[in-house]
Amino acid sequence: MNERGISTRVFGVGMPAAHLISAVRRSGPAGVVLHAQLPVSDSSVLAELRRLRPAPRLIVGGPGWEEIDVPPFVHRAATLAEAVDEAVRSVHL
């Protein structure tokens, strides 16, 4: 994304939801991409992120999200390229 002039932040595996929410609140991004390799057991972080103002565009991807019903305000990306395109779109909205 840097080659497109869009700055990014990458957080490590296993970041607690409360820390993620706090980081997003402080940085105020236009979009947030959440990738999960392992199955997601609690998707409540999506609703918490949606409550932030301004609310970032939420994009999920990876096999860990396959069994989760995500709310309609979340975009499910089938590929990494699609996730990047959606993230870029969120900056230009």
Q: Name the band, by pLDDT with cuts 50, 70 and 90, for residue 77.
A: very high
Kindly report the average pLDDT of the chain as a whole number: 90
Q: Which residues pair with 35 in a beta bridge?
A: 61
- pTM attached to this predicted model: 0.89
Q: Name the band, by pLDDT with cuts 50, 70 and 90, for residue 35.
A: very high
pLDDT of residue 92: 77
pLDDT greater than 90 at residue 48: yes
- pLDDT, one tens digit per residue, over 5-19 is 778 888 888 889 999
